[in-house]
A = this chain, B = another copy of it.
Amino acid sequence: MARKNVQEERRNQILKALQRCLLSKPFNETSIKDIAKAAKVNHGVLHYYFKSKEDILLNFIDYIISSYRGMYQEWAAGQDMEGMSHQELLRRSLIFMNERITLNRDLSRIFVEIGEIASYHRKVRTKLRQAYMTWIDTFAGVARKAGLSEGESGRFSRALIAYYEGMSLFSVIMDREEFDAEGILSWFQDQVMAAMVR
């Protein structure tokens, strides 16, 4: 088991290094040696732990998706659901998305990058699709409980996640002052909540 852990440790170290690399360069322009340097390991080991650059990418996608998902689960676990209305849960979930995901510029950059890679890379696309579906289902569940119909909640969560993705992209591309992502996100949330109550 110790063996296994050391292995796992090293692999994570490398994937985290890639994450840091992607903040300054697209995956395509990031060389194996760049990643190795960021991970402070010899570039040869990358081929020991992963069978190719593509293999690193695929593992990275899993890693980033699960850490992204982990953020939500950790947050959800910390919420005192007892006596909280479903509407309130939805409201807080939206706030979480705004603050921790969409306005997290580094995370947004990574997701823009992954999205682009997925658009050309079938395997990555499959992984990303599943992640989005999981995410959509999670929100659809919350919406369902908050009173939306089966069909409504599905459409609602799809549109919502799409909107968050768009806002992510804009938080990366647009000028902070000119665009005011924060203001738009909270305004939009109010709109959504108002519509729910109706």
Q: Which residues of A contact B (CB under 8 A)?
A: 24-26, 28-29, 109, 112-113, 115-120, 125, 128-129, 132-133, 155, 158-159, 161-167, 169-170, 172-175, 178-180, 183-184, 187-188, 191, 195
Contact = CB atoms under 8 A, between A and B. Distances in A.
Contact of A162 (B26, B125, B167): B167
A112 B118 CA distance: 10
Given A29-B28, A195-B191, A109 B113 contact: no
Interface of A is mostly: helix
Contact of A184 (B118, B159, B191, B195): B159
Contact of A120 (B25, B118, B120, B184): B25
B25 A169 contact: no
A173 B119 CA distance: 6
B163 A115 contact: no
A173 B26 contact: no
